[in-house]
Amino acid sequence: KTHTHTHTHTHTHTHTHTHTHSHTHTHTRVRCYGFHCSASEVRSRLPFLCRRKRLVQSDSLERALRNTRPSAREVLIWAESLKALLANQYGLAVFRHFLRSEYSEENLDFWLAVEKFKQTCPLNKMPDRANKIYEEFISCSASRQINVDSNIRELTQRSLRLGAETTSFQLAQDQIFSLMEADSYPRFLRSRLYAQLANQDVGL
């Protein structure tokens, strides 16, 4: 009787420990990729770049915005350029929320992924990271394929075959930036969401 009790306890403990360890290890590898590149950069962009469950991430950002809203003056700066919008933490979060409502957030996610890719360190991790970006956003079977022309798709693939570099996705990133700048960014500035933030009481 005593022997049976001990055996059952040991089996349960081993199973639980193995499962927990495996899950934690995998999750950490995904979230901490390139963490030591720039502490301040990662700290400010981690919510946008490192969480894989995008819907959960977006909801948490929206809650953060409700708790700490940007000032009306800060919001007006977003209208100066798309670059100014993306450089602002709140602007980036609100713009992504807007894109998600249009089912086109993959464009911004790709742009951000490439920005992070350029800072990859150590460099030996670059090929693996490049492959993940290509498979997720650019390949013909990509799960979240972005709208780049076939010529740029081919040039990007050729560049990666020669070896991943910080410029491997530059053509695709530039085209996606131009697409957002000419299309979704102006619509965002005309949206009710932007108007509400721009016209808010500064003391809010």
Pairwise CA distance, residues 58 & 94, whole Å: 9
Question: Which two structure tokens, joined as six digits, stand for 75?
Answer: 């919001």
Q: What is the domain range of residue 153?
A: 54-198
Question: Does residue 28 sit within a domain?
Answer: no
Q: pLDDT at position 123, please?
A: 86
Residue 49 has pLDDT above 60, yes or no: no
pLDDT at 196 over 70: yes
Query: Is 167 within a domain?
Result: yes
For residue range 76-123, what is the model confidence (pLDDT) as tens digits? 999 999 999 999 999 999 999 999 999 989 999 999 999 999 998 888
**Residue 69 within any structural domain of the chain:** yes
Are 122 and 100 in contact by the 8 Å Cβ rule? The answer is no
Is the residue at 4 inside a domain?
A: no
**Which CATH number is 174's domain given?**
1.10.167.10
| Among candidate residues 176, 127, 182, 122, the one with its CA nearest the CA of residue 153 | 176
Question: Please, what is the average pLDDT of the chain?
Answer: 76
Q: What pLDDT is attached to residue 160?
A: 94
The answer to whether position 174 is within a domain reads yes
Per-residue pLDDT tens digits for 133-159? 999 999 999 999 999 999 999 999 999
- The answer to the question of residue 43 being in a domain is no
More confident residue, 3 or 29: 3
Amino acid at site 189: L
Lowest-pLDDT choice from 11-20, 54-63, 92-101, 180-189: 11-20
Looking at the domain assignment, is residue 61 inside a domain? yes
Give the residue from 53, 146, 161, 52 showing the smallest Cα distance to 99: 146
**Contact between 120 and 37 (Cβ < 8 Å):** yes
Q: How many domains does the chain have?
A: 1
Percent of the chain with pLDDT over 90: 57
Dig out the tokens for 195 from the structure: 């108007």
What's the whole-number mean pLDDT along residues 169-182?
98
Give the CA-trace dihedral at 115, 158, 177, 114, to 10 degrees: -10
In this predicted structure, the answer to whether residue 189 has a pLDDT above a threshold of 90 is yes
Q: What pLDDT does residue 61 have?
A: 55
Residue 29 forms part of a structural domain: no
Supply the pLDDT for residue 63: 61
- What gap in Å lies between CA 193 and CA 69, rounded to an integer? 13
Round to whole Å and give the CA distance between 172 and 31.
24
